[in-house]
Chains A and B, each alone.
Chain A
Amino acid sequence: MKQIHVDSIIEVVRNICQEANFYLGDDVQRALEESLKIEESPTGKTIIEQILENAEIARKHRVPMCQDTGAAVFFVELGQEAQVVGGDFTEAINEGVRQGYREGYLRKSMVNDPLMDRKNTQDNTPAIIHTRVVPGDKLKITFAPKGGGSENMSVVRMMKPADGVEGVRDFVVDWVKRSGGNPCPPIIVGVGIGGTFEKCAELAKISLLRELGRLNADPRFASLEKQLKEEINDLGIGPMGLGGRVTALAVHIETHPCHIASLPVAVNIQCHAARHKSVTL
Chain B
Amino acid sequence: MSRKVRLNTPLKEEKVTSLRAGDEVLLNGTIYTGRDAAHQRLLDLLEKGKELPFDVKGQIIYYVGPSPAKPGTPIGSCGPTTSYRMDSYAPALMKIGLKGMIGKGPRGKEVVEAMKRYKAVYFAAVGGAAALIARSVKSSRIVAYENLGTEAIRELEVEDFPVIVANDVLGNDLYEEGIRKYSRRK
Per-residue contact bits, chain B 122-138, to A (CB 8 Å; 1 contact, 0 not): 00101111111011000
**For residue B150, which residues in chain A have a CB less than 8 angstroms away from its CB?**
107-109
Q: Does B66 contact A (CB under 8 A)?
A: yes
Q: Of B76, B84, B182, which is in contact with the most chain A CB atoms at under 10 Å from its CB?
A: B182
Is A41 a contact partner of B178 (Cβ separation < 8 A)? Answer: yes
**Among candidates B1, B77, B106, residue contacting A67 with C-beta atoms closer than 8 Å:** B77
**Which residues 47-106 in B have Cβ within 8 Å of A in the complex?**
64-70, 76-79, 81-82, 84, 104-106
In the complex, which residues 64-117 of chain A have their Cβ closer than 8 Å to any Cβ of chain B? Answer: 64-69, 105-109
| CB–CB B178/A67 < 8 A | no
* Contact among A54, A105, A120, A241 with B130 in the assembled complex (CB-CB below 8 Å): A54
For B168, list chain A residues within 8 Å (CB).
none
B174 interfacial contact with A, CB 8 Å? yes
Contact across chains for B181 and A107 when beta carbons are under 8 A apart: no
Residues B175 and A50 in contact, CB atoms below 8 Å apart: no
A236 touches B127 (CB 8 A): no
Say if the beta carbon of B34 comes within 8 Å of chain A: no
A68 touches B81 (CB 8 A): yes
Q: How many Å from the CB of A245 to the closest CB on chain B?
A: 6
The interface size bin for chain B is 35 or more
Please state if A238 and B182 are interface contacts (CB–CB under 8 Å). yes
User: Within 8 Å of chain B (Cβ to Cβ): is A191?
Assistant: no
Which among B24, B179, B180 is the interface contact of A241 at CB below 8 angstroms? B179
Interface size for A (C-beta < 8 A) is 48
Q: How far is the CA of A40 from the CA of B178 in the complex (A)?
A: 11
Are B131 and A243 in contact (CB-based, < 8 A)? no
> Are A180 and B105 in contact, CB atoms less than 8 angstroms apart?
yes
Contact for B124 among A106, A237, A242, CB less than 8 A: A242
A242-281 interface code vs B (CB 8 A; 1 in, 0 out): 1111000000000000000000000000011100000000
B82: chain A residues at CB < 8 Å are 148-149, 152, 182
Q: Which of these, A43, A105, A271, contacts B164 with CB under 8 Å?
A: A43
A65 to B126, CA, bound (A): 12
Is the pair A64, B130 in contact by a Cβ cutoff of 8 Å?
yes
Interface string of A42-58 (1 = CB under 8 A from B): 11001100110110011
Q: How far is the CA of A184 from the CA of B80 in the complex (A)?
A: 10
How many Å from the CB of B104 to the closest CB on chain A?
A: 6
Q: Which of B24, B68, B84, B106 contacts A46 (CB 8 A)?
A: B24
Interface: A129 (CB within 8 A) = no
- Nearest CB of chain A from residue B37's CB, rounded to whole Å: 9
Residue pair B126, A50 in contact (C-beta under 8 Å): yes
Does the CB pair B179–A235 fall under 8 Å? yes
Q: Is B171 an interface residue (CB 8 A)?
A: no
User: Do A236 and B179 form a contact, CB below 8 Å, given A67-B64, A181-B105, A184-B104?
Assistant: yes
Contacts of A236 in B (CB 8 A): 178-185
Cβ-closest chain B residue relative to A245 = B182
Contact A107 B182 (CB under 8 A): no
CB distance from B167 to the nearest CB of A (A): 11
* Contact, CB under 8 Å: A61 / B131: yes
Known contacts A58-B77, A66-B130, A105-B68, A234 near B178 by CB under 8 Å? no
B residues less than 8 Å from A68 (CB atoms): 65, 79, 81, 130
Alpha-carbon separation in the docked complex, A273 to B81 (Å):
14
A176-213 contacts to B, CB under 8 A, are: 180-182, 184
Q: How far is the CB of B100 from chain A (nearest CB, A)?
A: 17
User: What residue of chain A has the Cβ atom nearest to residue B1's Cβ?
Assistant: A42
- Complex alpha-carbon distance, A238 and B67, angstroms: 27
Are B124 and A240 in contact, with the CB atoms below 8 A? yes
Residue of B nearest to A57 (CB): B131
* Interface residues, chain B, with chain A CB atoms under 8 Å away: 1-2, 22, 24, 64-70, 76-79, 81-82, 84, 104-106, 124, 126-132, 134-135, 149-150, 162, 164, 166, 174-175, 177-185
Given contacts A106-B68, A184-B127, 7 further A-B contacts (CB under 8 A): A51-B128, A64-B77, A148-B81, A234-B184, A236-B183, A243-B180, A243-B182
